[in-house]
Structure 1
Amino acid sequence: MVIILTLNVVKDYLKIDYEDEDNYLTELLEVSLIYIDSMVGEGYKNDEKAVKLAEILQKKLVSDMYNIRGTNIDIKTKQDRIVSSILDKLSNYITES
Structure 2
Amino acid sequence: MTLEEIKDYLRIADNYEDNFINELVETSKIYIDSMVGEAYKADDKAVKLSALLQKKLIIDMYENRSTEIPQNTKQDRIVTSILEKLSNYTEVV
**TM-score scaled by structure 2?**
0.97
| Count of matched residue positions in the alignment of Structure 1 and Structure 2 | 93
Gaps of 5+ in 1: none
**Matched residues in 2 for 1:30 and 1:45: separation?**
16
Gaps of 5+ in 2: none
User: Deviation string for 1:19-73 (max 9, x for gaps)?
Assistant: 0110000000111111100110000111100000000000000000000011111
Aligned match for 2:44, one of 30, 43, 48? 48
Q: Which residue of 2 aligns with 1:28?
A: 24
Residues 1-97 of structure 1 mapped to structure 2, 5 A cutoff? 5-97=1-93
**Matched residues in 2 for 1:44 and 1:9: separation?**
22
Runs of 4+ in 1 over 3 A off after TM superposition: none
